[in-house]
Amino acid sequence: MSNSYRVAILGATGAVGTELLELLENRDFPVAELKLLASPRSAGSFLPFKGENLQVEAVGDRSFDNVDIVLASAGGSISKVWAPKAVEAGAVVIDNSSAFRLDPQVPLVVPEVNPEAAATHQGIIANPNCTTILMAVAIWPLHQFQPIQRLVVATYQSASGAGARAMEEVKTQTQAILQGETPVAEVFPYPLAFNLFPHNSPLNDQGYCEEEMKMVKETRKIFNAADLRVTATCVRVPVLRAHSEAINIEFAEPMPVAKAREILADAPGVKLVEDWQANYFPMPIDATGRDEVLVGRIRQDISHPCGLELWLSGDQIRKGAALNAVQIAELLVGKNQQSVVRESAILAQVER
């Protein structure tokens, strides 16, 4: 089989879709042919790739013919329709939506944490939620050294998590407020500029929103730790791009702060950012556009002998979405695995 692959991006014109396009080029992914797919309203537009302008096509029943890998970032309802069709056509789908994340037959993968799970796919691999990815990259190395028993997380989530329109809305609202006008909210339920509010995803009977439960359930699945205790409070903040998280970690035994720093300084996908003299720690403005999750302000929890506190910032569009998906694709086509994509897809069809 050829060492290059026919790739399709579903949702190519969105914030994550355009980032996928850039990453495929910058990371020199072995693309033989690239197909850009979106809704009919975006069809006919052009996006740059390796010195060419590629035309965006409206997704349809024949869109996935002769495609090896589909990078999907078009929302859960769309993925539920088109991902099975892509698998039937012989492709492997790496899906960025929440549609398949908790399906026991679908691996949920963070390459720095559970790369081996990608090989168990039956045609679809799920990309975790952005906040889950960023946290998993930061705490997994610690968990390997000393088992984590409980996580208490507060997130500070940027507008980018709701897409390109949400980012533009914050800019427009900011301008309106500075001009003494009333800001208008359309993408979000409330103005986000100069404001913040608990994540507006649907609430369950326990008072937890959907975003918070994603962190709970997805972390357990990725870590293969059904009994891991996780609680989260997710907040939308007036930042354009890159999420931040305050994480309280309770271990089975005390974790020395110096050891935690040593582990994270060498951890894949992590950059340690700590200047205690200057009170300088990870910030969204520094994380924007970076592949690494910035981690710092690591300290002993003074309320618990087995507790540790840390702070992180990570680019939601990049590592929290597009980069993680491309890294999964790289796992599939890695050294000595050139045939895993097509052979696994064929096997999935047979098993169905």
pLDDT tens for 89-110 read 999 999 999 999 999 999 999 9
Residues forming CATH 3.40.50.720 domain(s) in the chain: 5-99+320-351
Catalytic residue among 130, 143, 199, 234: 130
Cα 143 to Cα 152: distance, rounded to the nearest angstrom: 15
pLDDT, position 341 = 47
39-64 burial: b if 16+ Cβ within 10 Å, else e: eeebbeeebebeeeebebbebeeebb
Cα 108 to Cα 96: distance, rounded to the nearest angstrom: 10
For 258-317, how does the pLDDT look when each residue is reduced to its tens digit (9 = 90+)? 999 999 999 999 999 999 999 999 999 999 999 999 999 999 999 999 999 999 999 999
Domain over 5-99+320-351 is classified CATH 3.40.50.720: yes
- Classify domain 131-316 at the CATH class level: alpha beta
Cα 133 to Cα 153: distance, rounded to the nearest angstrom: 13
pLDDT, position 163 = 86
Predicted TM-score (pTM) above 0.95:
no
Residues forming CATH 3.30.360.10 domain(s) in the chain: 131-316
Active site residue 304: no
The closest alpha carbon to 72, from 98, 41, 40, belongs to: 98
Going by their DSSP bridges, the two strands 307-314 and 52-58 should be labelled as: unpaired
Catalytic residue among 121, 143, 199, 243: 243
Active site residue 143: no
Are the C-beta atoms of 47 and 12 separated by less than 8 Å?
Answer: yes
